[in-house]
Structure formats: structure tokens, C-alpha cells
Amino acid sequence: MEDPKIVAERIISNVETVIIGKSHELRLAVTALLCGGHMLISDVPGVGKTMLARAISVSTGCSFSRIQFTPDLLPSDVTGVSIYNQKSGDFEFRPGPIISQVVLADEINRATPKTQSALLEAMEERQVTVDGVTHKMPAPFLVLATQNPIEYEGTFPLPEAQLDRFILRMNLGYPSPTDEVLVLDQQQTAHPIESCRQVTDPNEIVQLQRAVREIYVDPLIKQYIVQVANATREHEAVHLGASPRGSIALFRTAQAKALLEGRDFVTPDDVKDLAVPTLAHRIIVSPGARVKGVTETDVVVQCLSRVPVPGARARV
């Protein structure tokens, strides 16, 4: 396999032909892909959430499916169903849209909690169980879920167990006026997704995910990660802090960031840069603090300022 950084940069550059002016956000998306995790995009309609998922799918050569979450969506509509075949006399499994390599869970908070829970096993254990039979997910497997944080009518807030399974949460945000003009220019005759090309393949993505796990993390950095996560649990404004899964997520995303920057080791700055997108959505601020305007992001930033940063030392 060629240099992992070159492959990752090629994916980012290719997706940038579709999503204009969002280099930082695209790096977060590729970070989630390299970690083998899932990403939640919470933003207003029309900023490119769906196109981001499609561009990643095309760039990596992965199969793509979209699930439009609605209140009447059933768990079997997500996972699949067993249908009786009269000719063979057996039940045949018809896979649902979740069994794909890149899955867009569009407006996930519009489905009922019962349907949302159909994603839990797939996202964490990379499998779905239908009628007692377990079906493995393809590799790589990435769920990109979107939700509109503005409209609350007809929505069901994601439970903590669901939020905790997303390795990252981010906002795309509006483009700058200059970038928005470029978007108009691009789409004058055709949508750029139509000319987006494949620059790698699923097997190479799996190799990149293995390479991420080989990135060296010093014991002092590991302690720093745990101390930051523990600080969120002890923060005076927090009702529920980051879970151990949050520590693992911060550990893994820091490794992926190091790989994206061409390093074979993690630095404290990697941890600090990814603490907010990795931990903030796992935190529940107490009602009293929320009334005072304290947000999950504020809590993580304060925790970073309170935890001492480990110093550099020579690697053995």
C-alpha cells in the first residue's frame, strides 16, 4: 500500500470538488472513516450533508445506501426481513439498506426510538440479527447520520446510547459568500457529484484503518485522554459526562489525525483538537447550567484548560 497520508489526502481533495470550502469538516469526516467509526452531522437543511456522504462513497468505491427516517419507518425497514419462499420452502433474508458500506441515515431524529434502536447493534457490533440469524456488515462500514437541530416538531431526540455510538459530531455550516459563488458556478450546467470519480477502493480503506491502529500513543498521552474524559464527569455543570467509549473514541481519532498529518505518533495537540467533536455530544449539561447558557462545548473547553498537558519525552 502506498503512503497512507497520500491516500487520505487524495480522498479529501476529491471530495472537495463537491463540497466547497469545508476542508476542516472534510478532514473530520475522513477521520471518522479511518477510525472505522460513525459520524453525526447536525445542521440546517441545504448545506451539503447528503452530498458529503455520496462524495465519500464515490471517492472510496464503497456501496452506498440512504435511509430516509420518518415516524412510520419500522425496524425491519432498516435491518431487513425474512420472507418465506414457497418454491424452496425456506425463509430467505432480504437485506435492508443498513447492510451497505456507506449508509446515510437522513434526519435520523424523525424516526421513533424503536426504529432508532435498530441501528445500535449494527453501529457497535457491525452486525444485525433478524429472526435469530446474525448477518455481518460489509467492511468498511460507515454510518453518516444527519439531523436538523432547528425543527423539533415531529422529532424524537436521540437517546444517550445512540449518541454515544457516533465517534464524531460536527456541523458543516454555511459557506462563505465567496465559496457560495463557486458553488453556483459549479452547478450552472451539472452537479459536481456527477463528475466525482473513484480514487481508492474499499480494500485500501480497510488497510488504512489497520494503519491507524498502529500509530504510537505514549502512555502519558493515554493518561491525558482519560483525565480529560474524567474531568467531564466531575465538572460542576454536568449531569452525565463522557463514557469510556468516549475515551476510546478520542484515542482512536487522535491516531487518525496523526496519520493524516504524516506522523507515526500522537501529540497532545491531536487530543486537544479532537476533544470537542469527539466528546461534546456525549455530555448532558445539568438543567441549572443550561439555563445559564452553558453548552457541552463550553464544558469540554473548560476541562481541557483544567487538565495539565503532558510534556514531551524521548521515545524508547
DSSP-derived 3-state class of residue 186: helix
Closest CA to 210 of 159, 152, 252: 252
Rounded distance, CA 166 to CA 87, Å? Answer: 42
Provide the pLDDT for residue 153.
Answer: 66
DSSP-derived 3-state class of residue 62: coil
Give the pLDDT mean for 229-247.
90
CATH of 4-207, one of 3.40.50.10440, 3.40.50.850, 3.40.50.300, 3.40.50.2300: 3.40.50.300
- Written as nine digits, the cell of 75 is 425496524
Contact 52, 172 (CB under 8 A): yes
Residue span(s) of the chain under CATH 1.10.8.80 come to 215-306
Residue span(s) of the chain under CATH 3.40.50.300 come to 4-207
- On the question of pLDDT at 119 being above 90, the answer is no
**Single pTM value for the model:** 0.88
Provide the pLDDT for residue 92.
Answer: 83
pLDDT band (50, 70, 90) for residue 134: confident
In this structure, which amino acid lies at residue 4?
P
Rounded distance, CA 210 to CA 216, Å? Answer: 13
Residue with cell 502519558: 220
Contacts with 60 (C-beta within 8 Å, 6 or more apart), sequence order: 11, 33, 101, 102, 140, 198, 199, 200, 201, 202, 205
Angstrom CA distances, 228 to 39, 114, 224, 242, 295, stand at 21, 33, 6, 9, 17
Percent of the chain at pLDDT exceeding 70 = 97
Rounded distance, CA 34 to CA 255, Å? Answer: 9
Give the pLDDT mean for 125-134.
86
Contact 308, 272 (CB under 8 A): no
Contact 310, 221 (CB under 8 A): yes
Q: Count the alpha carbons within 13 Å of 54 in the hemisphere toward its beta carbon.
A: 16
What is the CATH code of the structural domain delimited by 215-306?
A: 1.10.8.80
